[in-house]
Structures are given as structure tokens and as C-alpha cells.
Amino acid sequence: MSPRKMNATVIVGRDSLPGWALRGRVEYVSGGPQPGGMYFAAAPGAHALRLGARASAAQAVAVRPGAAYALTFAATRACARDGEREEALRVAVSPSFSAPGDVPVRTLYGAGAADAWAWGFRAAERNAQVEFSNPAAADDHDGDDSLNCGPLLAAVAFKELPAPMPSKDNLIRNGDFEAGPAAIPNSTAGVLLPPKRKDATSPLPGWIVESLRPVRLVDAPHFAVPQGQRAVELVAGREGAVAQVIRTAPGRAYNLSFAVGDARDGCEGAMLVHAVVVAGGGGGNATAKAAAAAVPYASRGGGGARQASLRFVASGRRARVTFYSSYYHTSAGDGVSPCGPVLDQVKVQPLMTKA
């Protein structure tokens, strides 16, 4: 960043940051203590944007109409002051078939410099504008805090998502969670996936984050994964769930199998993962029947997994498969970072015999 285009840390000019269009007070900050009281731990030479009240940073991207995409970005708060206002980073893509939404940055899910989030959208035209903004007005803060309390945007990645299909051997799409958003280079924190109520287009193909809080996609280079390169960590207890709707044949028996473990991130203690299948109820069928299993796992925080299964009989042409954690956990490393059991290798296979 050229010093001639800055006034102290404030970027001067709409087009002064290559590739980005800026609006409002946008600062170019380095790692270390921040004026708002937070410490931004960044590698030497790394920088972030602090977005002031109503400020934004936008970039044009080329896309395929109708295709699904995922943005991955690192974000955190800059202000350590407690208060009632929820500090957030707003994500908007236009034109697209997805509405803008706010990612909460007041709650930190990792012990690193910033949390990595994914945001899904479906393109409407060949060109789209991706915009990150601070939705807070200046009067949302007291005194001069409005200059210090904007969210920090540290890195952005962009990826077109595949459209996985079920097979005769597995009715679950993307049951190994290998298809998903891009990772932030050099990030060891995994990627948080927001709930559907905030982001209607899931950045995890085939799956719905059907809950109040996010779940975390973890990778094998930095976490323990039961199989392959990726798995989902249920970091929000009963407030964080993943679900998928599959096609079934009425009266047919099926076997749901999956792996439960820990991510080797210091998450210790007794864990309990619930698998719930609502087998029917689709297409106006009001006679849905549920099958459920509660799978315990004793974690020492060092990795490991166990297999579990559940047999169910379909009573309609669709079934909803949902997973969530019964307990809330925090990492033994710092005592505050949310964590939880890992889910992987999800399969639904038809059985040869009917019920």
C-alpha cells in the first residue's frame, strides 16, 4: 500500500487499494494491539481492513449464472468493549439469488487472529459485485469508539462449488464433506459455516446448517479428521446442527452410518452426538416417523473416532437426516474457544429387505 494514498492508517481515495472499491472510513492496519483494545495477531507483513461506520469494500468478480459459489474470509472484531450492540460484518453479492446477511464477529470461535467464515451465494448474471461492509451507524458507539470498533477483514478467497449427487451406494450427497469452501491460506482455525437463517445458500454442498449458530469445517492438515481431508465439527451444542433431505422409497429399510470423533483441538470430556431421521412427511404426507440414536464419545482431545449406525424405515418419498451435539464444550487449551465432536463419513444405504 503506497504511503501517498494514506492519511496515517486511513486509505484515501475510492480506488486506492488495488482491486477494491472503497466507501467511507477504511483503514489499512497491521498486526498488534488495536486502538479499540483488541490484539490482532497477524504474520509479519500481513494486513487487514478496518471498516468504520457504514464503510465498505467491494470487488467485481466473474461468475457463471446459476452456479453456486462460496466466499471464504477472515474476520474479527477490533473493539474489546462489552456492550449490547452486536458487532457484525455484512456480506452482500449483487446481482444474485441470495440476500445480504450479517456475520457476528463479537463472538470469537477460535484462539487465533481471526475466525474464517464461508458465505454461499448463487449467481444471477455473468458479473457480480462482492461487498463487505460495517452495518453499524456512527451513533451506535459512545464517544470516539466509532473510530475503533469496526470489524477487521483480513483475507478473502472465492470458489465455485460443485453439485454432488447421490449414488446407489450412498443416498447422502457430500457425506464426507470434501466438497466445500476454499480454505484461507496459512489459517489453522477451520472455516465457520453460518446457519441457514443468515445464509440461505449453503457453502457446504448438499447440507443445511439448520440451527441458530454455526458449525465448523475442519481440515486434515490442522485437525484430526476420521477419513479424508475434511469433517464437520459441531461447536455450538444443540444450537448447531447439520441436516440433509434425501429421496427414499416408502416402506424401504435403510441404514444410516457415520463416524464421530474429536478434532485434536483440546476438546476433552464426554461428548454425545444425536442422529435423527424423520422418515417421511414430505409431499404432504403427515405420517412422518422418526428414528434416533445418541452416540457417546469419550474425548481426550488428542484425536480419534468411532463408527455408529442407525436403521430406519421410510414412510414417504423423502427423509430428513439431522446431526447435533447434546453438550457445549470449550477447548482445554484456553478454556473459552467453543469446540465439539467431529462428524464424518455419513452414508445412507438401502437394505435388501423391506420392513
Q: For the chain, how are helix, strand and coil distributed in percent, rounded to 5?
A: 5, 45, 50
pLDDT the model gives residue 146: 52
Phi, psi of 5 (to 5 degrees): -105, 20
Tell me the three cell numbers of residue 150: 469496526
pLDDT 10s digits, 302-314: 999 999 999 999 9
Task: Work out the mean pLDDT of the chain and round it to a whole number.
Answer: 88
Check pLDDT > 70 for residue 166: yes
Q: Mean pLDDT throughout 287-298?
A: 88
pLDDT 10s digits, 10-27: 999 999 999 999 999 999
pLDDT the model gives residue 290: 83
Lowest mean pLDDT segment, chosen from 110-124, 163-177, 220-234, 263-277: 110-124
pLDDT 10s digits, 50-96: 999 999 999 999 999 999 999 999 998 877 655 555 689 999 999 98
Indicate the residue type of 236.
Answer: A
pLDDT the model gives residue 99: 86
Q: Identify the residue with better confidence: 130 or 9.
A: 130
Indicate the residue type of 126.
Answer: R
**Are 117 and 190 a contacting pair, CB within 8 Å?**
no
- The pTM score is 0.91
Q: Identify the residue with better confidence: 268 or 333.
A: 268
With cut-offs at 50, 70 and 90, classify the pLDDT of residue 268: very high
pLDDT the model gives residue 113: 62
**Are 63 and 127 a contacting pair, CB within 8 Å?**
yes
Contacts of the segment 332-339: beta carbons below 8 A, 24+ positions apart: 332/266, 332/267, 332/268, 332/301, 333/111, 333/265, 333/266, 334/111, 336/111, 337/108, 337/109, 337/110, 337/111, 338/109, 338/235, 338/236, 339/233, 339/235, 339/263, 339/265, 339/266, 339/267
Three-state DSSP at 188 gives: coil
Check pLDDT > 90 for residue 2: no
Indicate the residue type of 331.
Answer: S
Q: Mean pLDDT throughout 336-353?
A: 93
pLDDT the model gives residue 163: 94
